[in-house]
Amino acid sequence: MEILAFGVQTDEKPLMEKAFAGHHEVRCVGVFLNEDTAPIAAGYEIVSTSVNADLNHRVLQTLAAGGTQMIAQRSTGFNNIDLDVAERLGLTVARVSSYSPYSVAEFAWTLAMAVNRRIVRASNRTRDFDFRLDGLMGRDLRGRTVGVVGTGKIGEAFTRIAHGFGMTLLGWDIAENPACLELGMRYVEKERLFAEADLVSLHVPLLPATHHLVDAAALRAMKDDAILVNSSRGGLVDTDALVGELRAGRFTGVGLDVYEAEAGLFFLDKSLAGIEDDVLARLVTFPNVVVTSHQAYYTADAVGQIIDTTVQNVLDHIAGRRSENVLVPRLQDRTITRGPRPAARR
């Protein structure tokens, strides 16, 4: 059997081919799955997709009509898949329920330190042999307060690093993490967290309840010199409201690895095309903002785990096995009653 994998990055392709070797053939394409590219999948029983794929009802209908039976998503999040439509069409859907939390947690800290210590500005200056320190002053994080929004595996890893810095730990989540409590974290209402934290880092999934969790009110509640980091999902932050606060001169720094309108932009070369997204174009002009292209997960360790799990999901599907990674089971495995789907934790 040959599997079609959409949205495969150059660095990812040899890892994919090696992982599938001895099992099944895999055809890797760089284009992302959407309404325009879905017809490519005709004749492929199994399709693998990336986090920026758009699996709306029309895409799913095209896949089903072309003979696709299983979608193996190479990410933990699945807010880009219409699971109800997939279920009606008889499509099996699986995801990667977990991978190295350290990849994302460490990158979130990379963003936090980059904006705090003005690393991008300093690097750009020294490339021009400008070695002045004007405007590069940061501040110690030891003794300051960090607010961790979402304390699952990634949030816990982020918290452990914050504890190493000697920071006061505030957390917010639907359930308290005992490991974070042992580190000295105090769980508080999110309004208090936004108001008291010197650094706020987001580690929750994108769900209807968390869409624009950091809205205009939350941004206004934050300290004028606070740092905001989002390495989870772009839709957690109201970007229009964020731009408004930045224009008012607020925040020491903002580090964003995700953007709510990133589909069709991130992972692609748009350097010669001109960006039509006025909000993103404005956002990247602020000297205290660093935007990266959804790369927090992108380490050899994490990508290797993601690919290995994807291969196992495919093998389980073919063998008729069902694991915790299955979001929509095979048609023949479905029962009348079905429990709630897992949260799209990242």
Residue ranges in the chain assigned as alpha helix (H): 13-20, 57-65, 83-88, 101-116, 119-127, 153-165, 178-182, 190-196, 216-221, 239-247, 278-283, 300-319
Q: Is residue 343 scored above 60 in pLDDT?
A: no
Position 341 pLDDT exceeds 70 = no
Query: What pLDDT shows up at residue 145?
Result: 98
The answer, yes or no, to whether residue 25 has pLDDT greater than 60, is yes
Nearest to 254 by CA among 186, 202, 303: 202
Q: Which of 74, 118, 203, 294 is catalytic?
A: 294
Query: How far is residue 168's CA from residue 149's CA, in Å, rounded to a whole number?
Result: 14
* N residues, the chain: 346
Which of 203, 250, 262, 345 is the catalytic position? 262
Residue 62 has pLDDT above 60, yes or no: yes
262 as an active site residue: the answer is: yes
Amino acid 345: pLDDT = 44
Least confident of 10-24, 84-98, 173-187, 332-346: 332-346
Alpha carbons 54 and 245: distance in angstroms, whole number: 31
Mean pLDDT of 160-181: 98
Within a 10 A sphere around the Cβ of 136, how many other Cβ atoms? 12
Calculate mean pLDDT across residues 206-210. 93
233 noted as active-site residue? yes
DSSP-assigned beta bridge partners for residue 171: 148, 187
| Average pLDDT, integer, range 209-220 | 97
Burial of residue 166 (CB within 10 Å: 0-12, 13-18, 19+) is: exposed
pLDDT at 337 over 70: no
Confidence of residue 151 (pLDDT cuts 50, 70, 90): very high
pLDDT at 346 over 50: no
Query: Which bin fits 129, alpha (ψ -120 to 50), beta or left (φ > 0)?
Result: left
pLDDT, tens digit, 9 for 90 and up, residues 101-137: 999 999 999 999 999 999 999 999 999 999 999 999 9
Of the chain, the percentage scoring pLDDT greater than 90 comes to: 88
pLDDT tens track for 286-314: 999 999 999 999 999 999 999 999 999 99
User: What confidence score (pLDDT) does residue 54 get?
Assistant: 93
Residue 84 has pLDDT above 60, yes or no: yes
320 contacts: CB under 8 Å, gap ≥ 6:
330, 333
pLDDT value for 256: 98
| Parallel, antiparallel or unpaired: strands 199-202 and 227-230 | parallel
Average pLDDT over every residue of 3-9: 96
pLDDT over threshold 80, residue 264: yes
Of the listed 74, 95, 203, 233, which one is catalytic?
Answer: 233
pLDDT band at 342; cut points 50, 70, 90: low
Instruction: Name the 3-class secondary structure at 319.
Output: helix
pLDDT band at 339 (very low <50, low <70, confident <90, very high): low
